[in-house]
């Protein structure tokens, strides 16, 4: 008799940072959805250095339900890295059917998961959930998000689907492909898009946060946007070159005009104002170009250091690697 292999399982990766307030409700709703699925399911909570009871809760969940696993990072690494840690752990597991990524704050409704699975069964390797409306988010946040997606589309060859967060399903081969992208600057939306493979979209309404507060502020969003642009586009570098060239041409034309004036009408009033304007303008442009180059050089520096992306402090359940594992 041949040995019966367990059926491939669906893995759900949940990055969490100080989510103790919503976690019990999230876990209940998620398990309710998973119970109704026709394939086995596993949950992997990735604790991104929470300061509250999130990790203790995840450990409790794991004790109560053998399907639940947990990974605790050594400190807060940011959502993108926490997600990577979770996906890496799942990529090491045998017999993965597909993997779903979902936020713990219930803004991504777990009830959408069966739809993601349906699209995946129709042959899509990546099924992303796109929000139809953003409830409970300020007009300014919506506006900045819209501007950002448009900018990204213009600047980068890798098209990032608009209004799509990290909530999505990845097939086993998409998961493997993603695990092979080891860059330190992890703009996940871009990395997801870079993979390619057949993609499908599911629309849903994004609910407001169930409890707790968002960890995003404008400083963080700005860094996120710069990350997105610089990891997937070198257009800003080219922009610096073009602006530099344009100003040089203008400066040359202006210089020629002044020389001509001297020859035709003789020396006139010394142009203090125009001199100052030119100096300030060119100085500003040079600083801008230097700043842009600096962003890229800095990223190259971070990349060549080849540090591990994250460190794992503790784990519960079978899926998690030993705690001193180096990713
Ligand atoms: N998160 C994380 N590490 C962080 C910040 C956030 O793992 O440093 C998790 C957070 O717990 C949540 C998800 O990432 O599950 C999305 O975070 P948040 O709701 O703050 O972002 P938003 O929904 O506003 O984009
Ligand atoms: Mg949220």
Closest CA to 117 of 45, 7, 11: 11
Phi, psi (5° rounding) for residue 278?
-65, -45
| 103 within ligand 1 shell (Cβ under 6 A) | yes
Indicate if the pLDDT at residue 326 is higher than 70. no
pLDDT of residue 324: 47
Indicate if the pLDDT at residue 321 is higher than 60. no
Query: Stretch 222-234: mean pLDDT, rounded?
Result: 76
| 125 within ligand 1 shell (Cβ under 6 A) | no
Indicate if the pLDDT at residue 327 is higher than 60. no
Unique residue bearing structure tokens 């890798």: 158
Percentage of the chain with pLDDT > 70? 87
Indicate if the pLDDT at residue 289 is higher than 90. no
For ligand 1, pick from 103, 106, 141, 216 the residue to mutate: most ligand atoms within 8 Å of CB.
103
Identify the residue whose C-alpha is closest to ligand 1 atom 2: 79
**Paired sense of beta strands 199-206 and 126-134, if any:** parallel
Indicate if the pLDDT at residue 2 is higher than 70. no
Helix (H, G, I), strand (E, B) or coil at 69: strand
| 206 within ligand 1 shell (Cβ under 6 A) | no
pLDDT of residue 247: 82
Mention every residue, 6+ apart, whose C-beta is less than 8 A from residue 281: 247
- 8 Å CB contact between 131 and 42: no
pLDDT of residue 169: 94
Separation of alpha carbons 254 and 195, rounded Å: 49
Query: Stretch 305-319: mean pLDDT, rounded?
Result: 81
pLDDT tens for 41-96 read 999 999 999 999 999 999 999 999 989 999 999 999 988 899 999 999 998 888 88
- Maximum Cα–Cα distance across the chain: 105
Report the separation in Å between the CA atom of 172 and the middle of ligand 1, taken as the mean of its atom positions: 24
Of the pLDDT bands very low, low, confident and very high (cuts 50, 70, 90), residue 258 is confident
pTM of the complete model: 0.73
């Amino acid at each position: 008799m041949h040995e019966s292999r367990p059926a491939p399982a669906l893995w759900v990766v949940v990055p969490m940072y100080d989510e103790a307030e919503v976690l019990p409700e999230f876990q209940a709703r998620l398990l309710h959805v998973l119970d109704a699925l026709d394939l086995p399911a596993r949950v992997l909570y990735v604790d991104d250095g929470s300061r509250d009871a999130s990790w203790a809760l995840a450990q409790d969940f794991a004790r109560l339900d053998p399907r639940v696993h947990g990974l605790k990072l050594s400190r807060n690494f940011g959502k993108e890295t926490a997600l990577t840690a979770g996906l890496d752990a799942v990529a090491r597991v045998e017999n993965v059917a597909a993997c779903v990524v979902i936020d713990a704050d219930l803004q991504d409704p777990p009830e959408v998961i069966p739809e993601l699975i349906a699209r995946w069964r129709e042959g899509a390797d990546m099924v992303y959930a796109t929000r139809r409306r953003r409830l409970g988010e300020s007009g300014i946040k919506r506006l900045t998000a819209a501007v950002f997606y448009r900018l990204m589309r213009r600047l980068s060859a890798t098209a990032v689907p608009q209004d799509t967060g990290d909530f999505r399903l990845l097939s086993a081969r998409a998961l493997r492909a993603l695990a092979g992208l080891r860059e330190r600057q992890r703009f996940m939306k871009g990395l997801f898009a870079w993979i390619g493979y057949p993609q499908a979209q599911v629309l849903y309404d994004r609910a407001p946060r169930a409890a707790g507060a968002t960890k995003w502020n404008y400083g963080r969003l700005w860094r996120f946007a710069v990350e997105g642009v610089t990891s997937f586009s070198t257009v800003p570098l080219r922009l610096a070159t073009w602006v530099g060239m344009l100003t040089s041409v203008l400066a040359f034309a202006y210089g020629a005009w002044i020389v001509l004036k001297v020859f035709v009408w003789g020396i006139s009033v010394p142009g203090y104002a125009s001199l100052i304007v030119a100096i300030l303008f060119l100085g500003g442009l040079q600083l801008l170009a230097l700043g842009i180059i600096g962003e890229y050089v800095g990223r190259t520096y971070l990349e060549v250091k080849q540090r591990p992306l994250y460190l794992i402090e503790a784990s519960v359940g079978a899926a998690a690697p030993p705690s001193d594992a180096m990713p």
